[in-house]
Chains A and B, each alone.
Chain A
Amino acid sequence: MKLNPSQDILSRKLKDEATADSTQFSPLLHARIMQQIKARSGSRWVQPSPSWRIHWAVPAFAAAALMLIAATVWLHTPRTLQTPQVSVLPPNPSIPQLTLQFSSLEEMTGKPLTDANFGYLDRDAKTVLHYVINQFDVIPPPPGRRG
């Protein structure tokens, strides 16, 4: 804030009168203040008292004893090796054996080709089969074939 000369006089007089009293630095007051601050300000500067240590020693000792007991019990507990559990699986499914059983050749060829087990063969296979069959005289011709 800028001061003009008249305001400067005002400022000077106010300050002079404020600081012209008998207030001086008091070592006693200073010591009293610092003493009160140290006494009432907690543990920032004050060393922990023995009672503080005793206060915390009881739960600390109890916790240590509890941990020691737990460790001792754990060390002396017999440990058994666990065998792995094998699960019983169901038996494998049996694969059926596919076999062609012919009681006789007559039985095999006694039916028309279209009704027989070879009906699924194609035309060429039928032709070859007829040729082979016709080579044997004992085998009667198929019912659908005359002459």
Chain B
Amino acid sequence: MPSIAIESSSDEQLASQARGGNIDAFDQLVRRYQVPLLRFLQRKSPTPREAEDLLQESFLRAYQSLDKFKDGYAFKPWLFTLSYRVAISSARKASVRPSGETVESLASRHGNPAPEAEKSESRTRLWEIVRQTLGEESFTAIWLFYVDDIPPKQIAKIMDRSWVWVKTALHRARKKLREPLENGHRDLPMMPVMLRGET
């Protein structure tokens, strides 16, 4: 198949072609979802290296499960479902990050960050606050909704939760994050306290 046709094909068309043995079609799927899936897995892995391993395992399982992917369904939620389960399974096997760990302790564990790293960490600090404030599962639901643009019903399927639970988690997140975020990033160090209502 010409590369132009592959690049213009939908995810579902590529999945169907990959199921028939077209290596270029699956290559294109890996190319499309490497970055968004890696970002998702980086939030669930203690190190970037482990996130890359989980990414590789996710794509491998996706390829091996292509026969189970039914025509007419969206490929993106299906792939995220596999990846989410891979991450959960990996977290159960390995020693995962302690639940009470703070952003500061995370920073200190990785040593004194360089200026660039410090800048990057300040950008991701918001999501760490979301995780600490709302919990790991709500964090995942909010990430999938706001970052990967996956509808709540499909998020419910990915996380094996009810649609009502996802809607509730998103509502709680909006309610708790709206006001502090509108005040800007200078409030970020205080946000966990503010969000808990312990002012």
Contact = CB atoms under 8 A, between A and B. Distances in A.
A13 B146 CA distance: 9
B120 A30 contact: no
B42 interface: yes
Contact of B182 (A6, A25, A32, A38): A6
A116 interface: no
Contact of A37 (B26, B123, B178, B182): B26
Given A11-B146, A44-B21, A30 B181 contact: no
B55 A33 contact: yes
Given A1-B152, A18-B143, A33-B56, A24 B35 contact: yes
A21 B123 contact: yes
Contacts of A1: 145, 151-152, 170
A34 interface: yes
B34 interface: yes
B78 interface: no
Interface in A35-50: 36-38, 40-41, 44-45
A10 interface: yes
Contacts of A34: 23, 27, 30
Nearest to B152: A1
A6 to B, nearest CB: 5
Nearest to A41: B63
Interface residues of B, number: 37
Given A29-B55, A37-B60, A17 B126 contact: yes
B30 A23 contact: no
User: Majority SS of interface residues in chain B?
Assistant: helix
Contact of B177 (A10, A26, A44): A10
**Chain A interface: which size bin?**
20 to 34
Nearest to B122: A17
Interface string B132-143: 000000000011
A19 B38 CA distance: 11
B147 interface: yes
Contact of A45 (B21, B31, B178, B182): B21
A33 B142 contact: no
A13 B183 CA distance: 12
Contact of B38 (A23, A40, A41, A44): A23
Interface of B: 21, 23, 26-27, 30-31, 34-35, 38-39, 42, 52, 55-56, 59-60, 63-64, 120, 123-124, 126-127, 130, 142-143, 145-147, 151-152, 170, 174, 177-178, 181-182
Interface of A: 1, 6-7, 9-11, 13-15, 17-26, 29-30, 32-34, 36-38, 40-41, 44-45
